[in-house]
Structure 1
Amino acid sequence: MIRKIIFTSLSAVMAASLLGSYSAADTRAAQPMRDMTTMEIVNDMGIGINLGNTFESSGDWIEQWGDGTPNAYETAWGSPTVTEDLIKGYAAEGFDSLRIPVAWSNMMSKDGSFAISDKYMARVKQVTDWALDADLYVIVNLHWDGGWLEKLPTDHDNVMKKYNAIWTQVSDEFKDYGDKLIFESQNEELGWNDVWNQWSGSTNGKAESFGYVNEVNQSFVDIVRKSGGNNAKRHLLISGYNTSIDLTCDPLFKMPTDPAGRCAVSVHYYTPSTFTILTEDADWGKSAYTWGSDAELAELKQQMDLVKTTFVDKGIPVIIGEYGATKDNKDPESVRRYLTSVCEAALSRGGICPVMWDVTDLHYDRKTYKMKDNELHSNLLALKEKYVTKTPVTTTEPAPSKLMGDANKDGAVNVSDLVTVQQFLLGNGDLADWEAADLCQDTEINIYDIILLRKLLITQ
């Protein structure tokens, strides 16, 4: 991506040299933002699945024993190297959305600038492109990432510096992508037990911990919105308090102020954890082999009703970024019933998109590109058929009534228009047709309009 252009001359010769600098990396700049609300987007996202234990894999041992490539991290937690066919398989199996958890600290510079590795960024972008090309919605987040966010209360400024640096870089890299790409502010780590423990029976520190959550989410929105391009209108996913439904629905949790009004809230559902997570008894609970009692179904209903009344009914859509259950030491029918029930509880209420947690060989086979449980697969597709109505595609770009790119209004698009826009950016002239020069349709004239104009000239 072109980050900076130094104008040393405004001659046609210089303009022609700029034309030659256009590369395939700029092709995503043409992606439109559709005229859809975030509620419509979430309803259009259908059923989703996670590319888990892949790009969020992390650990010092990977750096020590790996070969220093993105693939060392990508495969460290058991995933095979992701291929385009693997990604296409999700779409072929009927999924509409793919969540890509990412640990951006992998291969990050150690000089204090928190610069994301170009190679790591390029690999995440490649997989994202494959998913978008397969017509999937894509959620890209900042995942656990080694747990450095846990230090925010005691090392606030440095932690926020790193957090802001990550989202500044990610926002810049993806700013020209269309609205099927969604950014998620964090994973489950917004909430600090050292500040307030919800199991303590005390409210001491509760407001402070919620305050940190709200601060991080607001910083995320501010960074994305000011980054330009399509990010001014991008749909954003705001992480709830530890993604707990009860805590995210607490009045102390505040959705960030967003000038675009395009935010959804993220919660996770692993209730009860004695069934979904425990594979053997622990000191905090007894592992459950089955699920589906009247009490457990009532609990699911109560939790989904709570997010509906707290958020959806007030115009804020919800994405269940993770729901799932281990299959180890579990009744297979109960696992199937659980995943089906949670998916239906979400879809049937409207405004809630369920994204199933999955890792290598859990539910989706990353070698055959098929779901492993045919009955579960049929259940999910039936729910999609019953509840999901895909929104017809429309865009905010009207049919052009003028010659877009004709900045000097001479009835043609040529190198002189490129020079005109460059002069305008330097403060050395005016635009005869400002709207025709605003090729990005973002109500401002900037370097990205020049990039699009170069593309127009090349394809003529």
Structure 2
Amino acid sequence: MKMKKIISSLAAAAMLLTANAGLTGVEAADDDMRDITTTELVKDMGIGINLGNTFEACPNWYEEDWIAKWSDGTPNDYEKAWGSPIITKEMIEGMAKEGFGVLRIPVAWSNMMEHDGTYTINPDYDARVHEIVDWTIESGMYAIINIHWDGGWVNKFPDDKDESMKRYTRMWEQIADSFKDYSDYLMFESQNEELGWESIWNPWGGTDGKAESYALCNEINQKFVDVVRGSGGNNSKRHLLISGYNTAIDRTCDDMFKMPSDPANRMAVSVHYYSPAGFAILEEDADWGKATPTWGSEQDYASLRSDMATLKSHFTDKGIPVIIGEYGCPTKNKEPESVRRFLSSVCEEAYKNGHCPIMWATPGGHYNRETFKMEDQELRKKLFEIGGKEFSPKQAVPAPVMGDVNSSGTFEVADLVTTQKWLLGSPDAALAEWKNADYDGDGRLDTFDLCLMRKDLLNKQ
């Protein structure tokens, strides 16, 4: 009873504070965002790896959701749909121990989404991605999350631009808000490879529609920047990765591709490298190309050097760092030595030109998710020598205790008293962790937070 009387008296004081129009709150600080350029951040990443065919596993947008139909419809069911085991902290930590400094996490956010036109991301799916990002950062790696292929709905932009832009905007509003308090060890990527539409412009059929297709790509990337920058928290200074036109080097280096306007000037550009397609994509002959089992001719090396130099002159030398978001090749029907030669050569040439190369890896591929090691340890050694990082896990930060402004580890009446005194301007009131009292999440402390603190404390009695 005595405790409730104390809390009640503090509530009366809170009402008095509400009437004092002269009081203002404290704005959120970006304590977790270092004063470094995006070029410096990309350099610190070293070399990277993808968590492929995992959180982007999904049905086509026009298909029945067979994953939900034949399972319990949980995040883990989608995670396993394309052959991945359930991801564990040990798997993520193993990537860091092998020398990778950044993990790209492709995500299909439409999984488990309600089809009611609101494009609301499922909270359980969001929480699972949070868990993976947390493990990544705790392991000492940077994390990149994006909207990946996601069933292919982005291909509908030319036919239904308004609805597609609404969906894209709503999704990035939610993603940005959900991750807004993460440090600069988390980067957002605007999209995967889908920004570029052959239904508007056929790159092999002249220039008709080219300007229109590039303009749409540029508009979507600008929307991404605008949404993230306006989402609060650390997002005003978060480093962003801008998807190139179809992430193709030649198309992204075309003058029609424009980097968005960014008030923070913290952007890198993303391209992918699967060239030559006969080796890097095809496992067997197709109607559009012939599969080749080997790589390493003089012409292969010359083409690789030319592509990386083009990126350097077009972007890096102008202050726009480059991330090779994906590079890789299959192992089926390929000479093992050629696979090793290709992957290490692309990594080395990219890194030498100042780019961050992120290898594409899927279940059963180059990184073994059961042993937590690279399948080819000779390749691992070569990659590490190029730009690998020593394993250096971060200290896991315990979850904050709401209301605990004194950093005691518990929320008690003393925290409420200290917060009230601080709001009254008392010189002996200091808040060690003021964010723990920001109950309404608006990035400032005021009497509304004090009232919510009181209610929370009463509920704990």
Partner residue in 1 for 2:348: 344
Q: Deviations over 1:165-221 (max 9, x none)?
A: 110000000000000000000000000000001011x11100000011001000000
Partner residue in 1 for 2:207: 203
Distance in 2 (CA, whole Å) between partners of 1:15 and 1:227 is: 33
Give the aligned residue type for 2:109: W
- Kept after mapping to 1: 8 A contact 2:279/2:295: yes
Give the drift of 1:31.
6.1
- Kept after mapping to 1: 8 A contact 2:97/2:390: no
Distance in 2 (CA, whole Å) between partners of 1:89 and 1:15 is: 53
Relative to structure 1, the CA distance from residue 438 to residue 314 in structure 2 (aligned partners, 3 Å threshold; closer, same or farther) is: farther
Secondary structure of the residue that 2:270 maps to in structure 1? strand
Relative to structure 1, the CA distance from residue 157 to residue 94 in structure 2 (aligned partners, 3 Å threshold; closer, same or farther) is: same
Secondary structure of the residue that 2:73 maps to in structure 1? coil
Secondary structure of the residue that 2:443 maps to in structure 1? helix
Alpha-carbon RMSD across the aligned residues, in angstroms, is 3.1
Give the drift of 1:414.
5.9
Partner residue in 1 for 2:4: none
1:301 paired with 2:296, answer: no
1:140 paired with 2:135, answer: no
Give the aligned residue type for 2:351: L
- Kept after mapping to 1: 8 A contact 2:99/2:390: no
Give the drift of 1:431.
11
Distance in 2 (CA, whole Å) between partners of 1:437 and 1:196 is: 57
Partner residue in 2 for 1:49: 49
2:176 to 147, 155, 171: 171
Give the aligned residue type for 1:270: Y
Name the TM-score, length of structure 2 as normaliser. 0.81
1:322 paired with 2:326, answer: yes
Unaligned runs of 5+ in 2: 1-6, 15-28, 60-64, 395-404, 407-413
Relative to structure 1, the CA distance from residue 432 to residue 188 in structure 2 (aligned partners, 3 Å threshold; closer, same or farther) is: farther
Give the drift of 1:12.
2.6
Give the aligned residue type for 2:35: D
Distance in 1 (CA, whole Å) between partners of 2:224 and 2:56 is: 19
Give the aligned residue type for 1:301: R
Relative to structure 1, the CA distance from residue 109 to residue 431 in structure 2 (aligned partners, 3 Å threshold; closer, same or farther) is: farther
Q: Deviations over 1:60-84 (max 9, x none)?
A: 2112212110011000000000001
1:354 to 354, 357, 376: 357
Partner residue in 2 for 1:62: 67
1:243 to 235, 244, 247: 247
Structure showing greater radius of gyration is: 2
Partner residue in 1 for 2:88: 83
Partner residue in 2 for 1:33: 33
Give the drift of 1:450.
3.6
1:448 to 443, 450, 454: 443
Distance in 1 (CA, whole Å) between partners of 2:192 and 2:12 is: 46
Partner residue in 1 for 2:227: 223
Q: Among all aligned residue pairs of Structure 1 and Structure 2, give the percentage whose two residues are the same amino acid.
A: 55
Distance in 2 (CA, whole Å) between partners of 1:11 and 1:300 is: 72
Distance in 2 (CA, whole Å) between partners of 1:342 and 1:15 is: 65
Structure 1 outlier segments of 4+, above 2 Å: 9-16, 413-421, 429-433, 435-440, 445-455
How many correspondences in the alignment?
402
Distance in 2 (CA, whole Å) between partners of 1:119 and 1:139 is: 20
Unaligned runs of 5+ in 1: 1-8, 17-28, 394-403, 406-412, 424-428
Q: Deviations over 1:248-290 (max 9, x none)?
A: 0000000000000000000000000110111111111111110
